[in-house]
Chain A
Amino acid sequence: MIWTKEQAKTLADRALALSKAEQTFVAINGSERASVRFARNTVTTAGATSAVSLAITSRFGKRSGTVTTARFDDASLQTALRNAEEIAKVSPENPEAMPLLGPQTYTPATAYFDDVASATPEWRASSVATAIALAKKNEVVSAGFVETQAAMQAVASSQGLFAYDRFTAADYNLTARTPDGSGSGWASKSFNQLGLLRPDVLAETAISKAAMARNPTGIEPGTYTVVLEPAAVADMVAFMLFSANARQADEGRSFFAKKGGGNRIGEQIVGDGVRIYSDPAHPLAPTVSFDNEGLPAEKRVWVEKGVLQNLFYSRFWAQKMGKAPISTPSNVIMDGGTATMADLIAGTQRGLLVTRFWYIRPLDPQTILLTGLTRDGLFLIENGKVTRPVRNMRWNESPVVALNNVDAMTAPERVVSGEGVGGSGLSLVCPAARIREFRFTSSSDAV
């Protein structure tokens, strides 16, 4: 359910007025989501869901309690408020509790587009029909997912805070597999506007990649130069950035900790060609204008010329360390270069072209060592040309090492990572990149 700013404000004011706590914070979230899923060249499931919920945090001094409810009549609000107040009263004091925010100034966001909010079941079905028709024509088996959603969120406090915003997202991704099970290709995009989504182009990309990937042969695990498509670069960047918590660093519990104490802000951590930042007003990846506590979302550079510029500081840790609070990234944008994909491949003597990564998990937080696999198109590059598809492999590598070994990049584009990061939850903009000495540790029989 997408409420207007006035409707959200009315509910927030009612909840605050009925509160008996010393301080009260409320958060309202509403959404309208609809999707179609397909596989085996046919529709499998489709659905729509409409929801709105209210979270209430009651505070007495440094004691707090939180409850959520989906009922908004006065009696239900009273019940939820009393429950939150009861929890707060029995909760021990939290010395780290920060006062609730008062009024803030926000830059208006542009992340909501009517064409997504008004997308019909017929549009979603027709977008799937396009992919299935192309798959059948090219004699591959398609599976995929299309989703449109509109969402609103509002936060308010007894200290005078009120913020309201909305966003939309349209996601489309699909996999094409050859009928003999020997080749697989994938493509994925997410945008805030429906008009930017091209199901036909995505289907053609996945289908052509499946054909290219057919009948892969084995290759020895080892260290290779890799040309990572933007989805794979996004996985590396996102994993590194989401380890960038100032408190963990200052306490010695992260890659960003300095030996002997403190953190590594100001140190060169990756290659000097790397710039990573967040910008809620980025035209390809607009986001809402505030975070969960009501702090304004701001443009923030994390890495400039390979040097760590910022870590995220909770309000408590910022106060303790004499810094300004910095929210977690509102989106992740990595600048690219001037090369084309063809250039990246042409400049590779011997290496691997990677479509996407899969099942990435951290192995060692000390070095941000990750493990994962390639999927849906891994190709050998020899003498500047893609020569043959090869079997997938497992890799063990740190994004810090990888981003130190970047030697060429394309222009960045809006991208969805291999495990879906970059869709409606967090917008990513990344280039493709050629990276030296990427470590593969074993081969996978999976196609």
Chain B
Amino acid sequence: MDRRQFVQSMIALGAASSASPEVLFGQGSSELRDLADAALATAKKLGATYADIRINRYRNQFIFTRDRRVQNIANTDDHGFGIRLIVDGTWGFASSSAVSKDEIARVAAQAVGIAKANRAINQEPVRLAPVEGFDTSWNTPVKKNPFEMPLQPKLDLLLQIHEEALKVPGASFVSAFMQFVNEHKYFASSEGSHIEQSLIRTYPSFTITAVDKATGKFYSRRSLTSPMGMGYEYVESYPLLQEARVAAEEAVATHKAKPAPSGPKTLILHPSNLWLTIHESVGHPTELDRALGYEANFAGTSFLTTDKLGTFQFGSKLVNLVADRTQENGMATCGYDDDGVKSSRWHLVKDGTFVDYQTTRDQAHLIGQKASHGCSYADSWGSVPFQRMPNVSLEAGTKDVSEADIISATADGVYVKGDASFSIDHQRYNFQFSGQTFWEVKNGKITTQLRDLAYQSNTPEFWKACDMLGGPSTYALGGAFNDGKGQPVQSNSVSHGCPIARFAGVNILNTGQ
């Protein structure tokens, strides 16, 4: 095949759309609306009782540095579309990276074929909770779009992190990176929605390692930054250089730190650690799809079975956990989910009692609810939307209790900052977490740094042991860039806010023994 034939074959396959990504995915593009309408009309003609299309573009920028060198700079650009539809009460889905009307027609027919093939094994016809049709747009309210920022200040800052860290004697290796994400999503449905969204996330981070070749020991300390649903203003506002110096000192000091104790202790968790415990022990078990068994083969089910709804004592009376897709700077924050449902905020745990789940349109009816909470998300144009976590956060205490107040009220405990190793069972009972740094607390004071510490507990026992909460001034957002779930595995980004919190009698492990 010569070049001309090849180009023609690509066009025949729909590999080239009629407009560049910049034009096609420009805000308010009429081309997107035309393509979407064509998809919905085709699906309807082929017998679908419901159809939606997502035409999405994903841009990433990665900048990696290591030991005073820029290792790699990569800009990725990925776009395509996915058509989801219902035929005879059965879902079908198909997708392609070639955005053109011809390919949309082919893929719509493919999705119908898949739905028809699976009709024979479908025992539960799909029922969708009602939703209003929206013709609107929503963008992450960034102050500085990271994709419009020049590279040089980003590189300069990353390399400055190396210089600051390596000023500390004993700091051996430094790596630092920035990642920026832009999801541009166009959603249209047969129920009248045309929703365009542009979501931006930003993540700067570094790791400093102190090696002692004589003993063969090494310790690392990662930055306490979390990825955020913010623009470049997050990078500029976070004291990265200051923390690089502190992190290097702490990595070096770990060599001389006291071994962690073993056994039950009062546990104080900084938000930079607690966010991950919330994610694993609250975020995942309150997913309705897990509770119903949809994830039984992979991510697992949930101890929060539907019979516990409204009555189960999940934690102490201090514990209020909210799901919130409207949370400022949250990575799961958006205007509308991938079912076209408007974002909202609701309680999962109220005054210690388990009161609600995360839901999607096709599962809300299974627990008698009439509307979806808007938790549908797909990580790509090529992925099937399903139930994914909104931002799930622990509300701060009503009194403005400070970090110093909690330390001074603690006779014998440990204080953990930063997230590290994490593991939880497939029904979300038994968990074990570690951290970046650990501190001994004796008689109301932080006395010394510890090393090799992890804590183990059982989710409801842990949350019932919560006996002190920091106030709003201690509240901070953490979050995960790549939370995996589903088959094929999809990853989503989600934030978790919390104050400093204290837990009585949690089992501490010395992992160095």
Contact = CB atoms under 8 A, between A and B. Distances in A.
Interface of A: 1, 4, 6-7, 10-11, 14, 33-53, 55, 64-73, 75-76, 79-80, 83-84, 87, 90-92, 94-96, 120-122, 124-125, 128-129, 132, 141, 143-145, 147, 173-175, 177, 181, 184, 186, 251-253, 257-261, 358-366, 369, 371-373, 375, 392, 394, 396, 420, 441-447
Given A92-B155, A445-B303, A66 B426 contact: no
B296 A446 contact: no
A53 B78 contact: yes
Given A45-B91, A79-B20, A252-B216, A91 B122 contact: no
A427 to B, nearest CB: 17
A121 B117 contact: yes
A85 to B, nearest CB: 12
B311 interface: no
10 contacts: A1-B97, A10-B1, A40-B293, A47-B111, A70-B97, A128-B121, A361-B422, A371-B421, A373-B423, A445-B425
A309 to B, nearest CB: 21
A125 B216 contact: no
Interface stretch (B5-13, B313-321, B328-336, B397-405): B5-13
Contacts of A34: 114
A443 B430 contact: yes
A37 B90 CA distance: 13
Contact of B92 (A46, A49, A94): A46
Given A45-B93, A83-B75, A442 B293 contact: no
Given A39-B293, A143-B297, A47 B423 contact: no
List the 3 shortest-distance A-B pairs measured between CB atoms, nearest first: A121-B117, A446-B427, A47-B93
A146 to B, nearest CB: 9
A373 B20 contact: no
Nearest to A69: B77
Nearest to B11: A73
A68 B458 contact: no
A10 B6 contact: yes
A96 B71 contact: yes
A37 B297 CA distance: 10
Contacts of A258: 216
Contacts of A10: 1-3, 6
Given A47-B114, A92-B155, A261-B213, A65 B97 contact: no
Contact of B297 (A41, A96, A145, A259): A145
B73 A66 contact: yes
Most chain B Cβ neighbours within 10 Å, of A71, A80, A124: A71
Interface string B285-319: 00000001111111011010100000000000000
Nearest to A52: B97
B15 interface: yes
A446 B426 contact: yes
Contact of B78 (A48, A68, A73, A253): A68
A359 B97 contact: no
B179 interface: no
B511 interface: yes
B4 to A, nearest CB: 10
Contact of A445 (B79, B434, B458): B458
A253 B209 contact: yes
Contacts of A79: 20
B173 interface: yes
B425 A420 contact: no
Contacts of B384: 45-47
Contacts of A55: 76
B123 A91 contact: no
Contacts of B9: 7
B421 A361 contact: yes
